[in-house]
A and B are shown apart, each in its own frame.
Chain A
Amino acid sequence: MIIEGRVIKLGDKIDTDVIIPAKHLKYTDPQYLAQHVFESIDPEFYKKANGAIIVAGKVFGMGSSREQAAIAIKAAGVKAVVAESFARIFYRNAINNGLPVIICPGISKEVRDGDSIKIDLVSGEVTINNSKKVACKGLSGMALEILMSGGIIEYLKKIRKV
Protein backbone atom coordinates (compact mmCIF):
# COMPACT_ATOMS: atom_id res chain seq x y z
CA MET A 1 0.00 0.00 0.00
CA ILE A 2 1.56 3.28 -1.20
CA ILE A 3 0.56 6.74 0.01
CA GLU A 4 1.73 10.04 -1.41
CA GLY A 5 1.32 13.61 -0.21
CA ARG A 6 2.70 17.00 0.67
CA VAL A 7 4.38 17.34 4.05
CA ILE A 8 3.04 19.38 6.94
CA LYS A 9 5.86 19.43 9.45
CA LEU A 10 5.24 19.54 13.20
CA GLY A 11 7.56 19.35 16.22
CA ASP A 12 8.12 17.01 19.16
CA LYS A 13 5.56 16.12 21.84
CA ILE A 14 2.42 17.16 19.96
CA ASP A 15 -0.30 16.47 22.55
CA THR A 16 -3.92 15.54 22.08
CA ASP A 17 -5.16 18.70 23.83
CA VAL A 18 -3.53 20.64 20.98
CA ILE A 19 -4.86 18.27 18.30
CA ILE A 20 -8.43 18.59 19.57
CA PRO A 21 -9.35 20.49 22.77
CA ALA A 22 -11.57 18.84 25.37
CA LYS A 23 -14.51 21.12 24.65
CA HIS A 24 -15.13 19.24 21.40
CA LEU A 25 -15.13 15.77 22.91
CA LYS A 26 -18.87 15.58 23.38
CA TYR A 27 -19.09 14.75 19.69
CA THR A 28 -17.66 12.06 17.43
CA ASP A 29 -18.88 13.38 14.07
CA PRO A 30 -15.74 13.35 11.88
CA GLN A 31 -16.71 16.42 9.83
CA TYR A 32 -17.32 18.50 12.94
CA LEU A 33 -14.05 17.38 14.53
CA ALA A 34 -12.08 18.03 11.33
CA GLN A 35 -12.97 21.72 11.48
CA HIS A 36 -11.40 22.06 14.91
CA VAL A 37 -8.22 20.07 14.41
CA PHE A 38 -5.16 21.97 15.72
CA GLU A 39 -7.30 25.08 16.09
CA SER A 40 -5.44 26.43 19.13
CA ILE A 41 -2.20 26.69 17.15
CA ASP A 42 -3.72 27.47 13.73
CA PRO A 43 -7.46 28.05 13.22
CA GLU A 44 -7.00 27.50 9.47
CA PHE A 45 -5.19 24.18 9.85
CA TYR A 46 -8.01 22.04 8.53
CA LYS A 47 -8.05 23.98 5.26
CA LYS A 48 -4.42 23.08 4.57
CA ALA A 49 -4.67 19.50 5.78
CA ASN A 50 -6.49 17.85 2.88
CA GLY A 51 -4.18 15.44 1.07
CA ALA A 52 -1.25 16.18 3.36
CA ILE A 53 1.04 13.85 5.29
CA ILE A 54 2.03 15.01 8.76
CA VAL A 55 5.68 14.51 9.66
CA ALA A 56 6.42 15.02 13.34
CA GLY A 57 8.98 14.44 16.08
CA LYS A 58 8.87 12.41 19.26
CA VAL A 59 5.81 10.97 21.05
CA PHE A 60 3.24 12.34 18.62
CA GLY A 61 -0.26 12.26 20.15
CA MET A 62 0.83 12.10 23.78
CA GLY A 63 -1.64 12.88 26.54
CA SER A 64 -5.26 11.94 26.71
CA SER A 65 -6.86 8.82 25.23
CA ARG A 66 -9.37 10.86 23.20
CA GLU A 67 -9.91 8.97 19.99
CA GLN A 68 -11.25 12.16 18.46
CA ALA A 69 -7.63 13.24 17.93
CA ALA A 70 -7.09 10.50 15.35
CA ILE A 71 -10.60 10.91 13.91
CA ALA A 72 -10.13 14.68 13.47
CA ILE A 73 -6.78 14.32 11.70
CA LYS A 74 -8.13 11.67 9.37
CA ALA A 75 -11.37 13.54 8.64
CA ALA A 76 -9.42 16.69 7.80
CA GLY A 77 -8.00 14.71 4.90
CA VAL A 78 -4.56 13.90 6.27
CA LYS A 79 -3.41 10.72 4.51
CA ALA A 80 -0.89 9.49 7.09
CA VAL A 81 1.26 10.55 10.03
CA VAL A 82 4.99 9.78 10.08
CA ALA A 83 6.74 10.47 13.39
CA GLU A 84 9.98 9.72 15.20
CA SER A 85 7.81 7.96 17.77
CA PHE A 86 4.16 7.85 18.78
CA ALA A 87 2.36 7.84 22.08
CA ARG A 88 1.03 4.29 22.48
CA ILE A 89 -2.67 5.18 22.75
CA PHE A 90 -2.69 7.56 19.80
CA TYR A 91 -0.94 4.99 17.64
CA ARG A 92 -3.65 2.43 18.31
CA ASN A 93 -6.46 4.96 17.92
CA ALA A 94 -5.10 5.92 14.51
CA ILE A 95 -4.93 2.30 13.35
CA ASN A 96 -8.39 1.58 14.73
CA ASN A 97 -9.78 4.44 12.66
CA GLY A 98 -7.90 3.59 9.50
CA LEU A 99 -5.32 6.41 9.71
CA PRO A 100 -1.91 5.02 8.68
CA VAL A 101 0.90 5.77 11.15
CA ILE A 102 4.57 5.10 10.44
CA ILE A 103 7.35 5.12 13.03
CA CYS A 104 10.50 6.67 11.61
CA PRO A 105 13.35 7.68 13.93
CA GLY A 106 15.37 10.52 12.39
CA ILE A 107 12.71 11.56 9.85
CA SER A 108 12.47 15.17 11.14
CA LYS A 109 15.97 15.92 9.92
CA GLU A 110 15.29 14.53 6.44
CA VAL A 111 12.05 16.28 5.57
CA ARG A 112 11.00 19.93 5.23
CA ASP A 113 7.58 21.51 5.26
CA GLY A 114 6.10 21.35 1.75
CA ASP A 115 8.24 18.43 0.51
CA SER A 116 6.43 15.68 -1.31
CA ILE A 117 6.81 12.20 0.12
CA LYS A 118 5.77 8.70 -0.80
CA ILE A 119 5.38 5.96 1.84
CA ASP A 120 5.23 2.21 1.43
CA LEU A 121 3.20 1.25 4.49
CA VAL A 122 4.32 -2.37 4.60
CA SER A 123 8.02 -2.12 3.74
CA GLY A 124 8.35 1.24 5.51
CA GLU A 125 10.28 2.85 2.69
CA VAL A 126 9.80 6.64 2.50
CA THR A 127 10.78 8.50 -0.69
CA ILE A 128 11.35 12.24 -0.39
CA ASN A 129 10.84 14.54 -3.42
CA ASN A 130 11.05 11.52 -5.72
CA SER A 131 14.73 11.05 -4.97
CA LYS A 132 16.02 10.41 -1.48
CA LYS A 133 14.93 7.17 0.19
CA VAL A 134 14.71 6.61 3.94
CA ALA A 135 14.08 3.24 5.60
CA CYS A 136 11.34 3.43 8.25
CA LYS A 137 9.45 0.77 10.16
CA GLY A 138 6.64 -0.74 8.14
CA LEU A 139 3.36 -1.88 9.65
CA SER A 140 2.96 -5.49 10.67
CA GLY A 141 1.06 -7.82 13.00
CA MET A 142 -2.24 -6.76 14.55
CA ALA A 143 -1.79 -3.13 13.52
CA LEU A 144 -1.54 -4.07 9.83
CA GLU A 145 -4.41 -6.54 10.10
CA ILE A 146 -6.73 -3.93 11.65
CA LEU A 147 -5.68 -1.20 9.22
CA MET A 148 -6.17 -3.52 6.24
CA SER A 149 -9.65 -4.43 7.49
CA GLY A 150 -10.47 -0.71 7.31
CA GLY A 151 -10.40 -0.11 11.08
CA ILE A 152 -11.42 -1.89 14.24
CA ILE A 153 -15.16 -1.97 13.60
CA GLU A 154 -14.71 -3.90 10.36
CA TYR A 155 -12.06 -6.05 12.04
CA LEU A 156 -14.41 -6.90 14.90
CA LYS A 157 -17.21 -7.75 12.49
CA LYS A 158 -14.82 -10.10 10.76
CA ILE A 159 -13.56 -11.91 13.85
CA ARG A 160 -16.99 -12.11 15.49
CA LYS A 161 -18.59 -13.09 12.18
CA VAL A 162 -21.55 -10.70 12.34
Chain B
Amino acid sequence: MVGKTLTEKILERASGRVVSPGDVIEVAVDVVAFHDLTGYHVIEVMEKTGNVKIHNIDSLVIAFDHLVPPPDVRSAEIQQHIRLFARKHGIKNFHDVGFGILHQVLIERYVLPGQVVMAADSHTTTSGALGAFAQGLGASDIAAIVLTGRTWLTVPQPFKIKLTGALKEWRTGKEVALEILRVFKADYFNGMSIEVFVDNPQSFPMDYRVTVANMGIEMNADTLMFVPDSVTVNYVKTERGFEPKTITPDPDAEYVDEYTIELDKVDFLVAAPHSVDNVKSVRDVWGTEVDYVFIGSCTNGRLSDFEIAAKIMKGKKVKSRCIAVPASWNVFRKAMELGYIQTLVEAGCIVTYGTCGPCIGGHFGIAAPGEVVVSTSNRNFVGRMGSPQAKIYLSGPAIAATTAVSGKIVEPGDVM
Protein backbone atom coordinates (compact mmCIF):
# COMPACT_ATOMS: atom_id res chain seq x y z
CA MET B 1 0.00 0.00 0.00
CA VAL B 2 1.28 3.43 -0.98
CA GLY B 3 1.44 6.03 1.75
CA LYS B 4 -0.61 9.19 1.79
CA THR B 5 0.39 12.79 1.12
CA LEU B 6 -0.48 15.62 3.51
CA THR B 7 -3.08 16.79 0.98
CA GLU B 8 -4.79 13.37 0.97
CA LYS B 9 -4.69 13.00 4.74
CA ILE B 10 -6.31 16.38 5.37
CA LEU B 11 -8.93 15.95 2.66
CA GLU B 12 -9.79 12.42 3.79
CA ARG B 13 -10.46 13.69 7.29
CA ALA B 14 -12.51 16.61 5.97
CA SER B 15 -14.55 14.57 3.49
CA GLY B 16 -14.88 11.36 5.45
CA ARG B 17 -13.91 9.25 2.44
CA VAL B 18 -10.86 7.89 0.64
CA VAL B 19 -9.60 10.41 -1.90
CA SER B 20 -7.27 10.43 -4.90
CA PRO B 21 -6.03 13.34 -7.01
CA GLY B 22 -8.67 14.41 -9.52
CA ASP B 23 -11.66 13.36 -7.39
CA VAL B 24 -14.37 15.96 -6.96
CA ILE B 25 -15.26 15.84 -3.27
CA GLU B 26 -17.29 17.65 -0.65
CA VAL B 27 -15.41 18.78 2.45
CA ALA B 28 -16.31 20.22 5.83
CA VAL B 29 -14.55 23.56 6.34
CA ASP B 30 -12.85 24.25 9.70
CA VAL B 31 -12.22 27.98 9.31
CA VAL B 32 -14.13 30.29 6.97
CA ALA B 33 -13.30 33.99 6.69
CA PHE B 34 -13.80 37.22 4.81
CA HIS B 35 -12.64 40.83 4.96
CA ASP B 36 -14.36 44.16 4.36
CA LEU B 37 -13.97 44.39 0.58
CA THR B 38 -15.28 40.89 -0.10
CA GLY B 39 -17.45 40.75 3.02
CA TYR B 40 -20.27 43.00 1.89
CA HIS B 41 -20.48 40.87 -1.24
CA VAL B 42 -20.57 37.65 0.83
CA ILE B 43 -23.42 39.10 2.90
CA GLU B 44 -25.27 40.20 -0.24
CA VAL B 45 -25.13 36.66 -1.65
CA MET B 46 -26.27 35.15 1.67
CA GLU B 47 -29.21 37.55 1.78
CA LYS B 48 -30.20 36.72 -1.79
CA THR B 49 -30.59 33.06 -0.83
CA GLY B 50 -33.40 34.24 1.42
CA ASN B 51 -32.26 32.53 4.62
CA VAL B 52 -29.22 33.86 6.49
CA LYS B 53 -28.62 31.19 9.09
CA ILE B 54 -24.93 30.86 9.94
CA HIS B 55 -23.85 27.24 10.09
CA ASN B 56 -21.17 27.63 12.78
CA ILE B 57 -20.45 30.97 14.41
CA ASP B 58 -17.20 29.68 15.99
CA SER B 59 -15.62 28.84 12.65
CA LEU B 60 -16.30 32.24 11.07
CA VAL B 61 -13.63 34.97 11.17
CA ILE B 62 -13.96 38.53 9.90
CA ALA B 63 -11.16 41.12 9.79
CA PHE B 64 -11.20 44.54 8.13
CA ASP B 65 -8.09 45.27 6.09
CA HIS B 66 -8.68 46.40 2.50
CA LEU B 67 -10.46 49.67 3.23
CA VAL B 68 -8.54 50.54 6.39
CA PRO B 69 -8.90 53.23 7.54
CA PRO B 70 -11.87 53.96 5.30
CA PRO B 71 -10.73 56.45 2.64
CA ASP B 72 -14.21 57.50 1.47
CA VAL B 73 -17.87 57.33 2.40
CA ARG B 74 -18.57 54.18 0.40
CA SER B 75 -15.76 52.33 2.22
CA ALA B 76 -17.04 53.51 5.60
CA GLU B 77 -20.52 52.39 4.59
CA ILE B 78 -19.28 48.92 3.57
CA GLN B 79 -17.61 48.49 6.95
CA GLN B 80 -20.62 49.81 8.81
CA HIS B 81 -22.83 47.31 7.00
CA ILE B 82 -20.57 44.36 7.93
CA ARG B 83 -20.14 45.61 11.50
CA LEU B 84 -23.91 45.70 11.98
CA PHE B 85 -24.20 42.24 10.42
CA ALA B 86 -21.57 40.91 12.83
CA ARG B 87 -23.40 42.44 15.79
CA LYS B 88 -26.80 41.17 14.69
CA HIS B 89 -25.54 37.62 14.27
CA GLY B 90 -23.38 37.64 17.39
CA ILE B 91 -20.14 36.94 15.52
CA LYS B 92 -17.37 36.65 18.11
CA ASN B 93 -14.34 36.45 15.85
CA PHE B 94 -14.83 39.93 14.44
CA HIS B 95 -11.83 42.26 14.10
CA ASP B 96 -12.54 45.85 13.29
CA VAL B 97 -10.28 48.49 11.68
CA GLY B 98 -6.70 48.37 12.90
CA PHE B 99 -6.42 44.79 14.10
CA GLY B 100 -4.59 43.43 11.12
CA ILE B 101 -4.65 41.96 7.65
CA LEU B 102 -6.98 38.96 7.60
CA HIS B 103 -4.35 36.38 6.63
CA GLN B 104 -2.05 37.53 9.40
CA VAL B 105 -4.90 37.46 11.92
CA LEU B 106 -5.77 33.92 10.80
CA ILE B 107 -2.29 32.53 11.41
CA GLU B 108 -1.83 34.45 14.66
CA ARG B 109 -5.11 33.40 16.25
CA TYR B 110 -7.21 30.85 14.44
CA VAL B 111 -5.67 28.37 12.01
CA LEU B 112 -4.17 25.07 13.18
CA PRO B 113 -2.15 22.45 11.30
CA GLY B 114 -4.27 20.00 9.32
CA GLN B 115 -7.34 22.20 9.04
CA VAL B 116 -9.30 23.13 5.94
CA VAL B 117 -9.37 26.93 5.65
CA MET B 118 -11.40 28.86 3.08
CA ALA B 119 -11.54 32.65 2.86
CA ALA B 120 -12.85 35.20 0.40
CA ASP B 121 -9.42 36.36 -0.67
CA SER B 122 -6.91 34.70 -2.95
CA HIS B 123 -4.00 34.94 -0.50
CA THR B 124 -5.70 32.51 1.87
CA THR B 125 -2.90 30.12 0.85
CA THR B 126 -0.93 32.02 3.53
CA SER B 127 -2.32 29.69 6.21
CA GLY B 128 -0.52 26.83 4.46
CA ALA B 129 2.55 27.97 6.40
CA LEU B 130 1.07 26.09 9.36
CA GLY B 131 0.32 22.98 7.34
CA ALA B 132 -3.35 23.75 6.73
CA PHE B 133 -5.13 23.10 3.44
CA ALA B 134 -6.01 26.71 2.70
CA GLN B 135 -7.63 28.16 -0.39
CA GLY B 136 -9.07 31.46 -1.50
CA LEU B 137 -12.55 31.51 -2.97
CA GLY B 138 -14.94 34.08 -4.39
CA ALA B 139 -17.64 35.76 -2.32
CA SER B 140 -20.41 33.40 -3.45
CA ASP B 141 -18.50 30.24 -2.55
CA ILE B 142 -17.68 31.70 0.85
CA ALA B 143 -21.33 32.66 1.37
CA ALA B 144 -22.26 29.05 0.66
CA ILE B 145 -19.72 27.83 3.25
CA VAL B 146 -20.91 30.26 5.92
CA LEU B 147 -24.43 28.92 5.38
CA THR B 148 -23.69 25.21 4.99
CA GLY B 149 -20.24 24.61 6.54
CA ARG B 150 -19.19 22.73 3.43
CA THR B 151 -17.85 23.18 -0.08
CA TRP B 152 -16.73 21.10 -3.06
CA LEU B 153 -13.27 20.90 -4.55
CA THR B 154 -11.14 18.87 -6.88
CA VAL B 155 -8.40 16.96 -5.05
CA PRO B 156 -5.16 18.50 -6.39
CA GLN B 157 -2.12 16.61 -7.70
CA PRO B 158 0.56 16.68 -4.98
CA PHE B 159 4.01 18.13 -5.77
CA LYS B 160 6.94 17.98 -3.36
CA ILE B 161 9.47 20.77 -2.83
CA LYS B 162 12.44 20.16 -0.58
CA LEU B 163 14.44 22.95 1.03
CA THR B 164 17.99 22.00 2.00
CA GLY B 165 20.87 23.96 3.57
CA ALA B 166 20.44 27.53 4.83
CA LEU B 167 19.96 30.95 3.25
CA LYS B 168 22.81 33.44 3.01
CA GLU B 169 22.58 36.74 4.91
CA TRP B 170 19.61 39.05 4.11
CA ARG B 171 17.88 36.43 1.96
CA THR B 172 14.43 35.37 3.20
CA GLY B 173 11.32 33.45 2.23
CA LYS B 174 10.60 36.03 -0.48
CA GLU B 175 13.72 35.11 -2.41
CA VAL B 176 12.69 31.45 -2.17
CA ALA B 177 9.17 32.21 -3.45
CA LEU B 178 10.66 34.18 -6.35
CA GLU B 179 13.12 31.35 -7.04
CA ILE B 180 10.20 28.90 -7.36
CA LEU B 181 8.48 31.32 -9.76
CA ARG B 182 11.71 31.80 -11.72
CA VAL B 183 12.03 28.05 -12.26
CA PHE B 184 8.40 27.03 -12.73
CA LYS B 185 6.61 30.23 -13.92
CA ALA B 186 3.12 31.24 -12.91
CA ASP B 187 1.11 28.49 -14.59
CA TYR B 188 2.98 25.28 -13.81
CA PHE B 189 1.32 24.41 -10.52
CA ASN B 190 -2.26 25.00 -11.65
CA GLY B 191 -4.27 22.08 -10.24
CA MET B 192 -1.52 21.00 -7.85
CA SER B 193 -0.92 21.25 -4.13
CA ILE B 194 2.67 21.99 -3.20
CA GLU B 195 3.96 20.29 -0.05
CA VAL B 196 7.17 21.84 1.22
CA PHE B 197 9.57 19.77 3.33
CA VAL B 198 12.22 21.70 5.24
CA ASP B 199 15.31 19.58 5.81
CA ASN B 200 16.52 21.52 8.78
CA PRO B 201 13.43 23.18 10.32
CA GLN B 202 15.36 25.90 12.21
CA SER B 203 16.90 27.17 8.97
CA PHE B 204 13.55 28.34 7.69
CA PRO B 205 11.55 30.20 10.37
CA MET B 206 7.79 30.69 10.38
CA ASP B 207 7.91 34.23 8.92
CA TYR B 208 9.67 32.89 5.82
CA ARG B 209 7.21 30.04 5.48
CA VAL B 210 4.30 32.47 5.62
CA THR B 211 5.78 34.49 2.75
CA VAL B 212 6.25 31.40 0.57
CA ALA B 213 2.76 30.04 1.34
CA ASN B 214 1.30 33.49 0.68
CA MET B 215 2.79 33.42 -2.81
CA GLY B 216 1.45 29.93 -3.50
CA ILE B 217 -1.44 31.65 -5.25
CA GLU B 218 1.05 33.51 -7.47
CA MET B 219 2.29 30.07 -8.56
CA ASN B 220 -1.37 29.29 -9.25
CA ALA B 221 -1.10 26.30 -6.93
CA ASP B 222 -4.36 25.02 -5.45
CA THR B 223 -2.64 25.27 -2.10
CA LEU B 224 0.92 25.40 -0.71
CA MET B 225 1.57 23.72 2.63
CA PHE B 226 4.64 23.43 4.80
CA VAL B 227 4.79 19.99 6.30
CA PRO B 228 4.44 20.62 10.05
CA ASP B 229 7.66 20.25 12.09
CA SER B 230 9.18 21.63 15.29
CA VAL B 231 8.98 25.21 13.98
CA THR B 232 5.23 24.81 13.39
CA VAL B 233 4.65 23.39 16.86
CA ASN B 234 6.74 26.10 18.51
CA TYR B 235 4.95 28.85 16.64
CA VAL B 236 1.52 27.71 17.82
CA LYS B 237 2.84 27.19 21.36
CA THR B 238 4.29 30.70 21.53
CA GLU B 239 1.38 32.50 19.88
CA ARG B 240 -1.45 30.53 21.46
CA GLY B 241 -0.06 28.78 24.46
CA PHE B 242 -0.80 25.17 23.59
CA GLU B 243 0.79 22.37 21.64
CA PRO B 244 -1.09 21.56 18.43
CA LYS B 245 -1.65 18.08 17.02
CA THR B 246 -0.01 17.74 13.65
CA ILE B 247 -0.59 15.62 10.55
CA THR B 248 2.38 14.71 8.37
CA PRO B 249 2.61 12.81 5.08
CA ASP B 250 3.66 9.15 5.08
CA PRO B 251 7.33 8.62 4.18
CA ASP B 252 6.34 6.55 1.14
CA ALA B 253 3.69 8.95 -0.16
CA GLU B 254 3.82 9.48 -3.92
CA TYR B 255 4.09 12.86 -5.59
CA VAL B 256 3.66 13.75 -9.27
CA ASP B 257 7.16 15.19 -9.12
CA GLU B 258 9.63 16.80 -6.76
CA TYR B 259 12.16 19.61 -6.79
CA THR B 260 14.92 20.55 -4.37
CA ILE B 261 16.00 24.09 -3.62
CA GLU B 262 19.47 24.43 -2.14
CA LEU B 263 18.97 27.49 0.03
CA ASP B 264 22.67 28.43 0.03
CA LYS B 265 22.42 29.06 -3.72
CA VAL B 266 19.39 31.37 -3.63
CA ASP B 267 20.31 34.79 -4.98
CA PHE B 268 18.76 38.25 -4.44
CA LEU B 269 15.84 38.26 -6.85
CA VAL B 270 13.12 40.62 -8.02
CA ALA B 271 9.99 40.13 -10.12
CA ALA B 272 10.27 42.82 -12.79
CA PRO B 273 7.22 44.51 -14.39
CA HIS B 274 4.55 43.36 -15.17
CA SER B 275 4.38 39.78 -14.01
CA VAL B 276 5.35 37.93 -10.90
CA ASP B 277 7.25 35.26 -12.85
CA ASN B 278 9.36 37.80 -14.74
CA VAL B 279 12.07 37.04 -12.18
CA LYS B 280 15.51 38.57 -12.50
CA SER B 281 18.65 38.63 -10.45
CA VAL B 282 19.08 41.98 -8.68
CA ARG B 283 22.35 42.39 -10.59
CA ASP B 284 20.36 42.45 -13.86
CA VAL B 285 18.33 45.46 -12.76
CA TRP B 286 21.09 47.02 -10.65
CA GLY B 287 20.93 50.82 -10.46
CA THR B 288 17.28 51.16 -11.60
CA GLU B 289 16.03 54.47 -10.14
CA VAL B 290 13.02 54.10 -7.87
CA ASP B 291 10.39 56.67 -6.84
CA TYR B 292 8.50 54.78 -4.18
CA VAL B 293 9.23 51.84 -1.87
CA PHE B 294 6.49 49.89 -0.10
CA ILE B 295 7.42 47.57 2.76
CA GLY B 296 4.58 45.48 4.13
CA SER B 297 1.48 43.49 3.08
CA CYS B 298 0.43 39.98 4.00
CA THR B 299 3.55 38.80 2.13
CA ASN B 300 6.26 40.72 3.98
CA GLY B 301 4.73 42.66 6.86
CA ARG B 302 6.02 40.54 9.71
CA LEU B 303 8.52 41.11 12.49
CA SER B 304 11.53 39.67 10.66
CA ASP B 305 10.80 41.92 7.68
CA PHE B 306 10.83 44.98 9.93
CA GLU B 307 13.93 43.77 11.69
CA ILE B 308 15.76 43.54 8.37
CA ALA B 309 14.46 46.92 7.17
CA ALA B 310 15.47 48.58 10.45
CA LYS B 311 18.96 47.08 10.39
CA ILE B 312 19.53 48.43 6.89
CA MET B 313 17.91 51.84 7.43
CA LYS B 314 19.46 52.52 10.85
CA GLY B 315 21.04 55.99 10.84
CA LYS B 316 20.22 56.62 7.16
CA LYS B 317 17.64 58.75 5.37
CA VAL B 318 15.35 57.54 2.61
CA LYS B 319 15.91 58.79 -0.92
CA SER B 320 12.78 57.18 -2.40
CA ARG B 321 9.53 57.90 -0.59
CA CYS B 322 8.78 55.01 1.72
CA ILE B 323 5.60 53.60 3.19
CA ALA B 324 5.81 50.70 5.64
CA VAL B 325 2.85 48.69 6.93
CA PRO B 326 3.23 45.91 9.53
CA ALA B 327 0.64 43.21 8.81
CA SER B 328 -1.11 43.45 12.17
CA TRP B 329 -1.40 45.35 15.41
CA ASN B 330 0.47 42.50 17.02
CA VAL B 331 3.44 42.86 14.66
CA PHE B 332 3.33 46.66 14.94
CA ARG B 333 3.47 46.53 18.72
CA LYS B 334 6.38 44.10 18.78
CA ALA B 335 8.26 46.13 16.14
CA MET B 336 7.65 49.21 18.25
CA GLU B 337 9.02 47.59 21.40
CA LEU B 338 12.12 46.50 19.53
CA GLY B 339 12.72 50.00 18.13
CA TYR B 340 12.20 49.07 14.47
CA ILE B 341 9.32 51.48 13.98
CA GLN B 342 11.38 54.33 15.44
CA THR B 343 14.27 53.55 13.09
CA LEU B 344 12.01 53.55 10.04
CA VAL B 345 10.27 56.76 11.09
CA GLU B 346 13.61 58.48 11.71
CA ALA B 347 14.77 57.36 8.27
CA GLY B 348 11.73 59.14 6.84
CA CYS B 349 9.20 56.35 6.24
CA ILE B 350 5.50 56.72 6.84
CA VAL B 351 4.49 53.82 9.09
CA THR B 352 0.97 52.65 9.81
CA TYR B 353 -0.60 49.28 10.45
CA GLY B 354 -3.05 46.69 9.26
CA THR B 355 -4.07 48.06 5.88
CA CYS B 356 -4.02 46.66 2.35
CA GLY B 357 -4.31 50.16 0.85
CA PRO B 358 -0.94 50.51 -0.94
CA CYS B 359 -0.71 46.83 -1.95
CA ILE B 360 -4.01 46.86 -3.79
CA GLY B 361 -3.63 50.36 -5.21
CA GLY B 362 -6.62 51.45 -3.18
CA HIS B 363 -5.42 54.29 -0.97
CA PHE B 364 -2.63 55.33 1.40
CA GLY B 365 0.06 55.56 -1.28
CA ILE B 366 -0.87 55.24 -4.95
CA ALA B 367 1.71 55.07 -7.74
CA ALA B 368 1.62 57.80 -10.41
CA PRO B 369 1.99 57.19 -14.19
CA GLY B 370 5.57 56.36 -15.11
CA GLU B 371 6.70 55.89 -11.53
CA VAL B 372 8.96 53.02 -10.58
CA VAL B 373 7.98 51.14 -7.43
CA VAL B 374 9.77 48.53 -5.35
CA SER B 375 7.25 46.60 -3.27
CA THR B 376 7.57 43.69 -0.86
CA SER B 377 4.07 42.63 -1.78
CA ASN B 378 3.04 39.80 -4.09
CA ARG B 379 1.64 41.25 -7.31
CA ASN B 380 3.03 43.58 -9.94
CA PHE B 381 0.24 43.31 -12.52
CA VAL B 382 -0.52 46.36 -14.68
CA GLY B 383 -2.37 48.88 -12.52
CA ARG B 384 -2.03 46.90 -9.31
CA MET B 385 -0.66 49.76 -7.18
CA GLY B 386 -2.37 52.65 -8.97
CA SER B 387 -1.62 53.93 -12.45
CA PRO B 388 -1.43 51.28 -15.21
CA GLN B 389 1.69 53.17 -16.35
CA ALA B 390 3.54 52.57 -13.08
CA LYS B 391 6.25 49.89 -13.06
CA ILE B 392 6.40 47.59 -10.05
CA TYR B 393 9.35 45.46 -8.95
CA LEU B 394 8.63 42.90 -6.23
CA SER B 395 11.43 42.16 -3.79
CA GLY B 396 12.28 40.88 -0.35
CA PRO B 397 12.60 43.23 2.63
CA ALA B 398 16.38 43.70 2.36
CA ILE B 399 16.33 44.85 -1.26
CA ALA B 400 13.34 47.12 -0.55
CA ALA B 401 15.06 48.77 2.43
CA THR B 402 18.33 49.11 0.53
CA THR B 403 16.48 50.68 -2.38
CA ALA B 404 14.66 53.11 -0.08
CA VAL B 405 17.89 54.52 1.34
CA SER B 406 19.78 54.62 -1.95
CA GLY B 407 17.00 55.69 -4.35
CA LYS B 408 17.89 52.88 -6.71
CA ILE B 409 17.85 49.09 -6.75
CA VAL B 410 21.09 47.83 -5.18
CA GLU B 411 22.11 45.12 -2.71
CA PRO B 412 22.62 45.51 1.06
CA GLY B 413 26.38 45.14 0.57
CA ASP B 414 26.33 48.39 -1.43
CA VAL B 415 24.97 50.50 1.44
CA MET B 416 26.14 48.77 4.63
Query: Chain A: residues with CB nearer than 8 A to chain B?
Result: 12-13, 15, 17-18, 21-23, 25-26, 28, 40-41, 58-59, 62-68, 70, 85, 87-89, 92-93, 96-97, 141-142, 151-153, 156-157, 159-160, 162
Contacts and interface: CB of A to CB of B under 8 A. Distances in A.
Nearest to A140: B24
Nearest to B74: A26
A25 B143 CA distance: 17
25 contacts: A15-B381, A17-B383, A18-B382, A23-B362, A26-B78, A28-B41, A63-B379, A64-B122, A64-B379, A65-B122, A66-B38, A67-B139, A85-B190, A87-B220, A88-B191, A88-B220, A89-B135, A92-B141, A97-B140, A152-B144, A156-B49, A156-B144, A156-B147, A156-B148, A162-B51
Contacts of A13: 186-187, 275
B44 A28 contact: yes
B381 A18 contact: yes
Given A58-B190, A62-B220, A65-B38, 13 more contacts: A17-B383, A18-B383, A26-B37, A28-B40, A65-B122, A66-B38, A68-B41, A93-B138, A96-B141, A141-B152, A156-B148, A159-B148, A162-B49
A153 B51 contact: no
B381 A63 contact: yes
Interface string B129-148: 00000011111110110011
A21 B361 contact: yes
Given A22-B362, A65-B120, A88-B222, A17 B384 contact: yes
A92 B138 contact: yes
Contact of B360 (A18, A22, A68, A97): A22
A121 B101 CA distance: 40
Contacts of A97: 140
Interface in B27-78: 37-38, 40-41, 44-45, 48-51, 67, 74-75, 78
Given A17-B379, A97-B140, A142-B152, A160 B51 contact: yes
Nearest to B363: A23
A87 B381 CA distance: 15
Nearest to A96: B140
Contacts of B24: 141-142
A12 B360 contact: no
Interface residues of B, number: 47
Q: Which of A21, A28, A87 has the most CB of B within 10 A?
A: A21
A59 B190 contact: yes
Contacts of A159: 148
Contacts of A62: 186-187, 220
A59 B220 contact: yes
A161 to B, nearest CB: 9
A152 B51 CA distance: 14
Contacts of B41: 28, 67-68
A152 B141 contact: yes
Contacts of B190: 58-59, 85, 87-88
Given A26-B74, A65-B38, A156-B147, A59 B187 contact: yes
- Most chain B CB within a 10 A radius of its CB, from A41, A59, A89, A157: A89
A15 B381 CA distance: 7
Nearest to A86: B190
Nearest to A97: B140
